[in-house]
Chain A
Amino acid sequence: MPKKVVSGNYAAAYAAKHARVEVVAAYPITPQTSIIEKIAEFIANGEVENLQYVSVESEHSAMAACIGASATGARTFTATSAQGLALMHEMLHWAAGARLPVVMVDVNRAMAPPWSVWDDQTDSLAQRDTGWLQFYAENNQEVYDGVLMAFKIGEHEKVNLPVMVIESAFILSHTYDIVDMPTQEEIDDFLPPRKPLYTLTDFDNPFSVGALGTPADYYEFRYKIEKAMENARKVIKEVGKEFGERFGRDYSQMIELYRTDDAEIVFMGMGSLMGTVKEAVDVLRSEGYKVGAAKVRWFRPFPKEELYELAKNVEGIAVLDRNFSFGQEGILFNEAKGVLYNTDANPVMKNYIVGLGGRDLTVNDVRVIAKNMKEIIEKKELDKEIEWYHLKR
């Protein structure tokens, strides 16, 4: 299998190329820029055929052009970050509502003000109700694999929904690592050309998409999106398993479990910070802590059953959120607690807000968190529910 040393962004660009995307419409924003630059380079060098690149005048238009292209039957890709994603928000609803499997890489970046170009998950999590599937990558390999799987899952006849593949700013986007890439033939075999649900070129049977939905019908349209999300759970597991069989990296779990079998305390989180957490788990294990890591790969659809299975067997879950919903709590924490209510799983749960705006989370930080969790479990008393771990005092 060919290996390349690439940044997370280049991994995304190569995956789009290998997926044989037909239309890319995008607008530059740091730190996403090198994804679309690389794609432009592929075109300039004649490395891709039949790829139309539309350099639009804004992210709002990028997503609008993507929905137009996807509705015409093309395999469509774009990428953005933070302010760009926020500007797209309205059109994210259109992509999902029109059931168009656009694939987008979002490079997680903190929202301004103050300006920040560094990692933070609030931009993508703020889009959680738009009907997009969301996959959080831990490393460059997962960015690459995630984009390939995103097309297969989003375009699946039982899904037909857009998919966001999310990588962290600079930690992945601009950091080089070895990425295994299957050959083009292997990928073509895994990912055949798209078979759209409908296309605007059906002149013999013309119809309208997105017309006024009266109270007599709108409700059912929403329900169908939810059905597709539910279907996506199964499709994600199937495609993840198939990916493992073909390429050796298994993604059949929506939550990747790391040394959780006999764990008393589990650290749960998403994205690149889970690499550090896994390393910390190894260190802590050598120090006698019974800890494990649970990396939430898919945030939408939310892996409810897998979370329940995990939560049943542990004493405490430390949820590490690199994001915050003002007036409430970390978003993953909020979702996880919601899932476990009304079940018999009742671990102690504490929310650690970490690394906002690119602040580093170190192995030692995870050790401090582990100690805190251990104390809470021993005392059988939560000191507080939400801790802004990095706050300067």
Chain B
Amino acid sequence: MELPADVKKKLTLPAEEHFYAGHTACQGCGASLGLRYVLKAYGNKTIFTIPACCSTIIAGPWPYSALNAPLFHTAFETTGAVISGIEAALKAKGYKVKGEDGIMVIGWAGDGGTADIGLQALSGFLERGHDGLYIMYDNEAYMNTGIQRSSSTPYGAWTTNTPGGKKHFVESRPKKKVIDIVIAHKPAYAATASVAYPEDFMRKLKKAKSIKGPSFIQLFAPCPTGWRAPTDKTIELARLAVQTAYFPLFEYENGKYKINMPSPNKEPKPLEEFIKLQGRFKYMTKEDIQVLQEWVLKEWEELKKKAEVFG
């Protein structure tokens, strides 16, 4: 496509597409964008493992696949174990894994398949030191089974099994900090990323490929369907999550934390801007929002302190 003369655009992402149109995600799906970026970053010398989750469907039914890369669909709780087995087999067979020209082994799982049922296998994968990358795309609920809460669902959110009603029953527990659990394993590399910041995400993907040992990326991937949000607000929501420090961007490597916020000197925006765009928070009272706001700032301070002490 030719751009109008008055539009100057610099393409910072590879133009090549390995994630095909014709996938079956909902409109505005953050997860599908994430998959597209991963494939852009790595090309097709990449072996994917996807457990039960929205991406099972997004990738397409047999005999189709939206991914121009080998893909092994597996059971919900097994991502960490399957990528361990693939990596072991590649090594046994003498393939080069990771590095410039090596094969990339990727587990791509939702927050439920990571933070809940898959946590054990994730822990095993990290602890054993496999040369693979585990990407948790975080849409903050079980979307594939119809929007039920996961342990990554935030305080105050409506889901179909925290429905909210006369007794004000919505999610009452804070979002589980999976990345902290991951970092406790002292992996080679761990990072958060967001679909609103593709360059940052791509850089982190490149890093994960260059480093020996297990890597983990928690990718913030809004889900308009589950969040009851307009389909054209995905990027705005993902950006606001970062700008409000609800989902801060940072990296962990060699015991060191590094915060990488797009506007590092700016104070976080009020959380309300993020909340008001989503129907899933409609049951929240002013007090509830205050509770979540305080949690966000407390976590943010904690992260800044970590970056200061272990920077």
Contact = CB atoms under 8 A, between A and B. Distances in A.
A346 to B, nearest CB: 44
B265 to A, nearest CB: 43
A338 interface: no
Contacts of B78: 60-61, 64, 91
Nearest to B46: A203
Contacts of B178: none
A54 B84 contact: yes
Contacts of A203: 44-45, 69-70
B89 interface: yes
B257 to A, nearest CB: 27
A25 B127 CA distance: 15
Nearest to A51: B92
Contacts of B168: none
Contacts, number: 166
B95 interface: yes
17 contacts: A25-B84, A50-B92, A52-B88, A55-B128, A57-B120, A57-B127, A58-B120, A64-B85, A65-B85, A74-B89, A207-B63, A207-B70, A208-B65, A208-B71, A210-B72, A211-B62, A212-B62
A54 B88 contact: yes
B49 interface: yes
Interface of A: 22-23, 25, 50-52, 54-58, 60-62, 64-74, 76, 90-91, 94, 98, 200-203, 206-214, 217
B64 to A, nearest CB: 7
A262 to B, nearest CB: 52
A202 B68 CA distance: 11
Interface of B: 44-45, 47, 49, 56-57, 59-65, 67-75, 77-78, 80-86, 88-95, 103, 120-121, 123-124, 127-128
A21 to B, nearest CB: 9
Contact of B81 (A61, A202, A211): A61
B89 A52 contact: yes
A210 B82 CA distance: 13
Contacts of A52: 88-89, 91-92
Given A57-B121, A69-B88, A73-B89, A208 B67 contact: yes
Given A72-B47, A207-B63, A207-B71, 16 more contacts: A54-B88, A60-B121, A61-B81, A64-B74, A67-B72, A67-B85, A68-B49, A72-B93, A201-B70, A206-B70, A207-B65, A208-B60, A211-B61, A212-B57, A213-B61, A213-B62
B81 A56 contact: yes
B216 to A, nearest CB: 16
B82 A209 contact: no
Nearest to B91: A52
Contacts of A213: 61-62
A214 B91 CA distance: 35
A21 B68 CA distance: 30
Contacts of B92: 22-23, 50-52, 69, 74
Contacts of B49: 68
A61 B80 contact: yes
A134 B198 CA distance: 50
A50 B80 contact: no
Contacts of B74: 64, 67-68, 94, 210
Contacts of A74: 88-89, 92-93
A92 to B, nearest CB: 11
A54 B128 contact: yes
A50 B91 CA distance: 8
B82 to A, nearest CB: 4
A59 to B, nearest CB: 10
Contact of B88 (A23, A61, A94): A23
Q: What 10 A-B pairs have minimum CB-CB distances, sorted nearest first? A: A68-B85, A65-B85, A210-B73, A61-B81, A72-B89, A64-B81, A64-B78, A74-B89, A57-B124, A68-B82
B291 to A, nearest CB: 36
A212 B47 contact: no
Given A211-B56, A213-B61, A68 B86 contact: yes
A214 B56 CA distance: 13
Contacts of B90: 72, 201
A206 B69 contact: yes
Given A69-B86, A91-B75, A211 B47 contact: no
Contact of B47 (A64, A70, A98, A201): A201
Contact of B61 (A22, A201, A209, A214): A214
Q: Which of B60, B64, B86: most chain A Cβ within 10 A?
A: B86
Given A50-B94, A58-B120, A91-B78, A71 B57 contact: no
A206 B84 contact: no
A23 B82 CA distance: 12
A91 B64 CA distance: 23
Contacts of B77: 60
Nearest to B88: A52
A119 to B, nearest CB: 29
Nearest to B57: A212
A208 B65 CA distance: 6
A68 B60 CA distance: 20
Contacts of A72: 47, 85-86, 89-90, 93
Q: Which of B60, B74, B81, B84: most chain A Cβ within 10 A?
A: B81
